[in-house]
Structure 1
Amino acid sequence: MKHKSLIILALTIIFMILLSGCMRKMISQTSALPTTEEETNEEGYRDLKGVETFKVQDMEFVVNYGIDGYVKYGQYFSVQARIVNHGEDHDGVFQVIIPGEGNDNALYEQNVKVKANETTDVEFVIRMNGIGDQFQYRFVDEDNETIVEKVAAIKLLEDQKDIFIGVLSNGQSEFRYLEDGDTELIYLKKDNIMNDYHALEALDGIIIYNYDLELLTKDQYISIEKWVREGGSLILEKNSKNYFLDLLKERTGTKKNFFTKYNVEFGNVLVADEDLNIQTDQFQTIGMEIQEEIIHDLGEGKLRNNSNRYGGTFYNYRINDILSIPESKEVPEVTGYIIVLSIYILLIGPVLYVVLKKRDKRHLVWMLVPMTAIIFTFIVYALGFHTRITEPYAKYLTYTKIGEDGKAVEDTYFSLTSPYNIEYNAIFNSKYPVGIISNEYGYMYGNLKKHDYTEYTKAVEYKEDSTNIFMQKFSSFSPLYFIGSRETTKQGGYQYSIKDNINEISGEFTNNLGYDLSHTAIMCNGTIIPVGDIKDGETTRIKSDSGNSYSTLNSIYYTDVIEKIAGGSLKSKNLGVLKRYKALEIYLEDSMVNLTKDNYLIGFSSEKDTQSIMNTLSIKGKGIEVVVIPLEIGEINDDGDMNISNLDCYITDTDGYSIDIYRYMPNDVVDVKYTFGKSDKIKSIQYSDRGNLEFNPNSKAGFIGSIYFYNNRIKNYELVFESGKARSITDIAPYLDDENNLLVKYKAETEKLREVPVTLPVLTATKEAY
């Protein structure tokens, strides 16, 4: 019995020891997990989500990614790692791996020197273009030992919140009235403003309220400025305006109801005339009006990015499509082969037969034919040295956006192709941000719990003075796709004066860039006007009419607008025409899809004047450069009224019908409700040739029918416009109710719905300026 008790006691002790070890292991593992407790920082806000804090060996890691843990598909996001080293020096590599199909993962890495008892910061700005809502990060030391290897789950946005607005404020300001089903507020702190403006791309707007802007560094200020120029909307209180005077100087603001709006290239700055921190009981009144005004005036570039997010893979497909157009040198020259083979056939055929028969040496045929074949094999092989592709090559498409101050941003999509499936490097001689574009056709909600991150086909390595691209395990002649960017300052410039009076767009543009622009067009408030070539030093007059102005997305598909600009159609055998057509199609379609008030001139530089990061790449390449020049075109017309180039932004009800970007009418009758702002004083509504394809003789689509407005005095609808007959009405009062609502009935000719694509017409208007 005593022996049995000793056995039980021994087993109990062993069990407790094992349990103690397991508990220590659990505690150790728990310390390496992300912290979930919400703490407040020194500025009074909760710490952002998307932060993981843990300790491994003698190093502490704080890894922060995305905006509040959110990442928008097809856009850039930041990964920041702070490493606190309590031990010896370490030379290592920090890596981020974006998952792809199979082993088609994308790897980004940066060399890191972690000195003893010091803190080291590592920052990445990476394009999210994978197949799932996660990524992996690692820290590998100088002995190639993996110290950290973790998978980070992100909130990947594809069908959730549409609009993200960051708030930078010293105190807990009340901005909840800006949130609804489509808008999310993200409370920022100084550390969220990275020096690379691409990291802010997920934000559609930034509100700065009651914040000490002196806390921002010069680089952070420049980052915000670049983000605005690229399409962001900066919302400021009056006191913050003075800090951004350099951005606003020599710009004329447009007075709105609550803001003064300053257009800054593709973005804008909204300076509040009222206190944005309103009381709770004003949320449903003043708050809703402020929100509508902010959303309505979001920068054009940010809205285009939303399109890239939702149609991101389609956007990649179109980019890949244009980079697949072959250059002439990629097709082997076959003339030499034809000549050699023709001689060979003649020799072993009639020539050899006649000669041997004449000399009665036909028995030599069995020796001479193989010898001739061997000789010509060597000739063909030698000829191949001059005709076959033996070196990797690159192709690219560059969009260069040039501001009035000469500052330019070059976004270059490029492909790298190798004739052999061996490992190779491509090196930029400067440090440029380079993103890997997925070859996949769609974002997949796949189960990635067992995803293999060990293999990859493409890697981007950032060094102090260069960016290296490494490729492996790919198929021969299968292009791999990337995007890179850089910022430059151009020596030349341009001047312009363009007015939009709804019924006519007119003005002039002077090219002083130092090189010619070819195949140009103007985009003005959603209307495309082909312009033609503008030589260096030349001034070109611009004037719209029914024959040269096109609006809505359908213009691209049902008219010859791109053919007019590009100088030919997709059926052309001219490679230059095909490239121009597709490059224009991509950019113009993105503008049309978003129905934005984007204003710019678009054209092409000559091949000798083409500039991009590809000039610094170790692999030779060919491509084209598209020049995009943002235009500031005021919303106030010659009569002092404010133009509304499309009433769609005021639609609040469509009676259950969905009006998509193509504007197809689902039935012969569509009822639409427009709600104007309570302080809006509508002076006229027009149905004109602008934006309506039925006026264009070359169009294959358009509205065919009648337009009725509801008259609140007679309590019935009355005919106002008929298709193909331009008209303007100025007596608006009978059609607006007490809430400033306008009810419109669009009635198409039923039989035409079966014959041609009938589209919802575009109505324009003017209202009294604030």
Structure 2
Amino acid sequence: MLHLSKAINWFEIIKRGLLAALFLLILSFPVYGDSGLEITSIEGGFDGVHKVNGWVPFVITVKNYGEDFTGDIQVISDSYGYEFKSAYSMPFNVAKGGEKQVTIVAPVNRTRASVDVQIIQNNKVIKEQKYYFKKSLNPNTLFIGVLTDDASGLRYLSGGDFSSQNMPIQSEMAALNEKTFPSNEKVLENFNILLINNFDMSTLSSEKKELLVQWVEKGGLLVVGTGPNSKKVLNALPEELKMVDVAPTVELSSFLAFEDYTGKEMTSGGVRMPVSMLNVKKGSILLQQEDIPLITSTQFGKGFVSFFAFDAGLEPFSSWDAGNQAVWQKLVYSTIAPYFRGDELNSKIEYSFYHAMNNALRYIPSIETPSLILLILIIGSFIIIVGPVNYLVLKKRDKREWSWITIPAIVLVFSIGMYIVGFGTRFSTAVASIVSIIEYKDDSKSIDVSAHTGLFNPKRGTVRIKTSKDVDVDFTANPYTSYYYGGPQEERDKKIISKFILGDQPEVEFYDKGIWDFSSFIMKKKVAFSDSIDNSVVISNNVLKGSIKNNTGFKIEDAFIVMGNSFAKIGDIERAQTIEIDQPLENVYNGNNDYYGLMNKIFGQDVYQPVIARDDKSRLNQQRRLIFEYYSMTNRLNTSSTSTPILFGWNDADLQFDVIVNEKDVKKYYQNMIVIPMDLNFVKGETVQLPYGFLKGTVEYTEGNASANADIYNPGAVSIEGVGNAVFKFNIPSQIKVEAFTLNWHSMDMKMQGNFKLLLYNFAKDQWEEMTSFYHVDNSIVSEYISRQNEIRVMFNVESEAASGVPSKGFHGWINCPDIELEGVIR
């Protein structure tokens, strides 16, 4: 009996084991939910790499093993500030048995980041999968996108050192092709540099080429490698970017120019370097050997286009240990370095000054209230009727006991009347404050208008915003949009506060918004005009002369012209009116790049009055100052060596930007800033005086512990820690024969510390000469300090190392380029 019991026990054990094995076997097969959908792959960023605070493409592939599916697919990522999450969603459908690939772009704000990918139907999560990035790049990384058919010889671009004394900056490269090259402006902004090398540009779509041009205009550095593969690179390069013509290649066997340029020896092992003969149509030559240009540079908008006469991925350049990176360092320092500070190279620099626009958007004009006389008449009538009149009428009819009926009735009638009178003074729908920047370009009959929009909704709950199809809208542009949720931390970690619906007509949903909560976004669209802008001015004896024709289609109010740190007020210009100007320039100089002093002169300082003391006119003036501050501060990073006269003006015309909130139109208030660049004409024989701020100095080179790594409030500045030199230069228009100039070197750091010398280069004697911080050179000796290229050079020189705790030795701080005031005669 005991043996039988043991046999039964063993049988049970074996049976349970077989059942468990069968269960595990079943689990090993794919199991799909009711939808039959499977997320088969997710590709994030650039081969799994992303830049923190950058926008990232997610390529998602979905297989459908079930019936036809229609719903949404979305990426869930951290919102600005990391406290909550936002969904980036788009409509999604896939046929039975089909496979579909979609691309969603979303911001990623964390290191060691991950996102959730969800498929949604009827507000229910059907399928969800998490994606983890392979690598997160610091926002200060110099990110180089390489458009190439062969990236094997360009790996040296990763790991380059572009650090300053104050900020470590390393380079990282990402290989791109015609498919992975970004088709989204925000994604392309991840890159500080783009290199096109050994790539057939005819395979890149026209839309992506247009995006490339815009990226350079906004401040990027485009480098084009030529050499033996020049034809396939240049033949389909956008015409705007073709700064050179290319002749057949020759071979270099000597590399002295490269070695002198970098200070590093190039050992080629007998390998010759094929180089193209570049005919430079536009720009300057940074490096040449004998009569062969090797590296060129041309400013394009706020960015630069540089051409290499060689293929950057071929021997002997690709294996030149430390030398190839040194070439790139010199190129960066001579182009984008004056305003390069990590991720602030791209348009995120605007975020540093968005507070000004953020405040401007909160301006809503006062609503017209009923007149005081009308209110006095209504209140007086009420007192008389509810009192004496009511009493006398009831007394005459001997019905004084009815007063408990007549008094409430009179109160009700007057209350209804007061409500009707006051109804027009309240907002019953959402209100939009729209600040449009209308920036004209030369010879253009259509422009892109940017409309920054602040929205206030009078109801709490979900706010759904959309615009018309002709508008390109960015609902994520404002980093200052705030959100408050007082729930427990575990709920906050999961809470989705907004949903951005991507597609042909983007929409956004903000959840749990309070009454009159502020939301903002940017709209853009093209506006056509009947005539292009053609205005010009001349400067003679510090007087601005010229003509302005207003063919914008709008009245221009309170116009003024800015040139460097000087301005002239023009006044109103009616539509289609031509006015002649003859205005003295008012100069503002309290130090280098004194934008705030300039704004105080133009707009006054009444902005500092208490808000309650301001009327509509002063509040409008404050709004305009904030708009001008935002524009001028975000555009001062342009490293152009010569300023351009710019006409600014205002109007409140309706630009027909449709804004729909919860399926209803909103009340819109416009304030438009008109920006028109003007030509500066030079009349032969005329005397010209260029004021402070008009000619902008640039960093030519640095030595020792000095580095061109600018403070965003002082573009073009140099950081020095101890011993080092910073050389600045001024490029003077070739039409001007200089008769005298004054240098004013103003820096708070210079006043506080340092053992340094200020030097001016004497081209006639080929030597540096000491100067003071305020230094005037008159007509008798001025020619000695002007180069054949019409340049002036100055140096900030520090020779003594700093002792610990002794600020008088050495130097530690930021040095700005001096300001220059110049007099001359037009040749």
**Could you state the TM-score of these two structures normalised by the residue count of structure 2?**
0.67
Distance in 2, Cα, partners of 1:68 & 1:602: 46
Residue 584 of structure 1 deviates from its aligned partner by 0.9
Give yes or no for the alignment of 1:170 onto 2:149.
yes
Deviations 1:681-738 (A, max 9, x none): xxxx9997677679xxxxx9996999724899xxxx98511347578795799xxxxx
Deviations 1:216-255 (A, max 9, x none): 1222222323333333332112423342252247996111
Residue of 701, 725, 745 corresponding to 1:674: 725
Match of 1:579, SS state, is: helix
Q: How does 1:44-55 map to 2 (within 5 A)?
A: none
Aligned equivalent of 2:88: 108
Give yes or no for the alignment of 1:267 onto 2:267.
no
Letter in 2 for 1:721: T
Give yes or no for the alignment of 1:191 onto 2:179.
yes
Q: How does 1:287-302 map to 2 (within 5 A)?
A: 287-298=325-336
Aligned equivalent of 2:9: 7
Letter in 1 for 2:430: P
Aligned equivalent of 1:43: none
Distance in 1, Cα, partners of 2:583 & 2:307: 33
Letter in 1 for 2:62: I
Aligned equivalent of 2:757: 708
Whether the aligned pair in 2 keeps the contact of 1:427 and 1:469 (CA below 8 Å) is yes
Distance in 1, Cα, partners of 2:567 & 2:557: 14
Deviations 1:359-397 (A, max 9, x none): 899987766554443333333333343322111221222
Give yes or no for the alignment of 1:608 onto 2:662.
no
Aligned equivalent of 2:265: none
Q: How many residues align structurally?
A: 694
Distance of aligned partners of 1:174 and 1:438 in 2 relative to their CA distance in 1, 3 Å threshold: closer
Match of 2:119, SS state, is: strand
Give yes or no for the alignment of 1:624 onto 2:624.
no
Aligned equivalent of 2:457: 418
Q: How does 1:470-489 map to 2 (within 5 A)?
A: 470-487=509-526
Q: How does 1:277-676 map to 2 (within 5 A)?
A: 277=313, 279=317, 282-285=320-323, 287-298=325-336, 306=344, 315-329=353-367, 335=372, 338-339=375-376, 342-343=379-380, 346-347=383-384, 351=388, 369-404=407-442, 405-406=444-445, 408-423=447-462, 425-430=464-469, 432-436=472-476, 437=478, 452-453=493-494, 455-456=496-497, 458-462=498-502, 464=504, 466-487=505-526, 490-495=529-534, 512-515=551-554, 517-518=556-557, 529=567, 532=570, 535=573, 538=578, 547=587, 552=592, 555-557=594-596, 559=597, 561-566=598-603, 569-570=606-607, 571=609, 573=615, 574=617, 575-592=619-636, 601=646, 603-608=648-653, 610=655, 612=657, 618-628=665-675, 645-647=696-698, 650-651=701-702, 660=711, 673-674=724-725
Distance in 1, Cα, partners of 2:393 & 2:546: 82
Aligned equivalent of 2:249: none
Letter in 1 for 2:103: E
Distance of aligned partners of 1:709 and 1:220 in 2 relative to their CA distance in 1, 3 Å threshold: closer
Match of 1:408, SS state, is: strand
Aligned equivalent of 1:256: 285
Distance in 1, Cα, partners of 2:786 & 2:10: 96
Distance of aligned partners of 1:729 and 1:312 in 2 relative to their CA distance in 1, 3 Å threshold: same
Deviations 1:52-98 (A, max 9, x none): xxxx9454443334445555566644343343445542212122344
Give yes or no for the alignment of 1:63 onto 2:63.
no
More deviation, 531-540/349-358: 349-358
Match of 2:634, SS state, is: helix
Residue 111 of structure 1 deviates from its aligned partner by 1.4
Whether the aligned pair in 1 keeps the contact of 2:147 and 2:181 (CA below 8 Å) is no
Residue 323 of structure 1 deviates from its aligned partner by 1.2
Whether the aligned pair in 1 keeps the contact of 2:197 and 2:311 (CA below 8 Å) is no
Distance in 2, Cα, partners of 1:395 & 1:352: 48
Match of 2:364, SS state, is: coil
Residue 203 of structure 1 deviates from its aligned partner by 1.5
Match of 1:243, SS state, is: coil
Aligned equivalent of 1:211: 199
Q: Which consecutive unaligned segments of at least 5 residues does structure 1 have?
A: 33-55, 695-699, 734-739, 747-752
Distance in 2, Cα, partners of 1:16 & 1:313: 64
Aligned equivalent of 2:60: 81
Distance of aligned partners of 1:732 and 1:563 in 2 relative to their CA distance in 1, 3 Å threshold: closer
More deviation, 63-72/348-357: 348-357
Distance of aligned partners of 1:84 and 1:151 in 2 relative to their CA distance in 1, 3 Å threshold: closer
Residue 211 of structure 1 deviates from its aligned partner by 0.7
Match of 2:450, SS state, is: strand
Residue 512 of structure 1 deviates from its aligned partner by 4.8
Match of 1:583, SS state, is: helix
Match of 1:328, SS state, is: coil
Letter in 2 for 1:674: N
Whether the aligned pair in 2 keeps the contact of 1:527 and 1:549 (CA below 8 Å) is yes
Distance of aligned partners of 1:514 and 1:710 in 2 relative to their CA distance in 1, 3 Å threshold: closer
Deviations 1:388-422 (A, max 9, x none): 21112212223344444445333332122222225
Letter in 2 for 1:584: F
Match of 1:326, SS state, is: coil
Q: Which consecutive unaligned segments of at least 5 residues does structure 2 have?
A: 162-168, 245-280, 288-294, 686-693, 732-737, 762-767, 788-793, 801-807, 822-827
Deviations 1:429-455 (A, max 9, x none): 206343234555699xxx999755464
Distance of aligned partners of 1:395 and 1:510 in 2 relative to their CA distance in 1, 3 Å threshold: same
Whether the aligned pair in 2 keeps the contact of 1:72 and 1:309 (CA below 8 Å) is no
More deviation, 541-550/221-230: 541-550
More deviation, 85-94/431-440: 431-440
Distance of aligned partners of 1:542 and 1:291 in 2 relative to their CA distance in 1, 3 Å threshold: farther
Distance in 2, Cα, partners of 1:504 & 1:282: 55
Letter in 2 for 1:587: Y
Distance in 2, Cα, partners of 1:168 & 1:255: 24
Letter in 2 for 1:743: N
Give yes or no for the alignment of 1:763 onto 2:818.
yes
More deviation, 383-392/601-610: 601-610
Residue 342 of structure 1 deviates from its aligned partner by 3.0
Letter in 1 for 2:92: V
Give yes or no for the alignment of 1:229 onto 2:284.
no
Whether the aligned pair in 1 keeps the contact of 2:745 and 2:819 (CA below 8 Å) is no
Aligned equivalent of 2:239: 246
Give yes or no for the alignment of 1:720 onto 2:771.
yes
Aligned equivalent of 1:161: 140
Distance of aligned partners of 1:511 and 1:702 in 2 relative to their CA distance in 1, 3 Å threshold: farther
